[in-house]
Amino acid sequence: MARQHPKIIVAMLDMAYNIGPTAFCRSSVARYANAGEWTAACKRISQIYTTAQGVKLKGLVTRRNQESAMCFDGLKGGALMLGFLAGLVTKLPLLGR
């Protein structure tokens, strides 16, 4: 896989942490990413794994939308500004522990 913007990596890492590595590796997001289809991968993030026990959960929808937005920002070459990681800590549960 080619080097990607850190925001793309963090978005996918957060999703993988949340749904588990096996589910992530079997997901269409991972297939798109492995094929180099980054726009499709970023879009797909917001479309899957938004339910728990068959119920769509607002929190999961919000989380997937945030991950997708971060991924797209990375595709645009979003600026790596001072405090980038500090901002992530407050936005992504994975890093806020």
Could you identify the residue written with the tokens 């794994």? 49
Q: What is the CATH number of domain 6-88?
A: 1.10.530.40
Q: Worst-scoring range by mean pLDDT, 4-13, 44-53, 72-81, 83-92?
A: 83-92
pLDDT digit string (tens) for 1-19?
567 899 999 999 999 999 9
pLDDT digit string (tens) for 16-71?
999 999 999 999 999 999 999 999 999 999 999 999 999 999 999 999 999 999 99
Residue 67 confidence (pLDDT): 96
Give which of 3, 4, 30, 2 is closest to 15, Cα–Cα. Answer: 30
CB count within 10 Å of CB 5 equals: 18
Q: C-alpha angle 60/38/85, rounded to 5°?
A: 60
Contacts of 53 (CB under 8 A, 6+ apart): none
pTM check: above 0.75:
yes
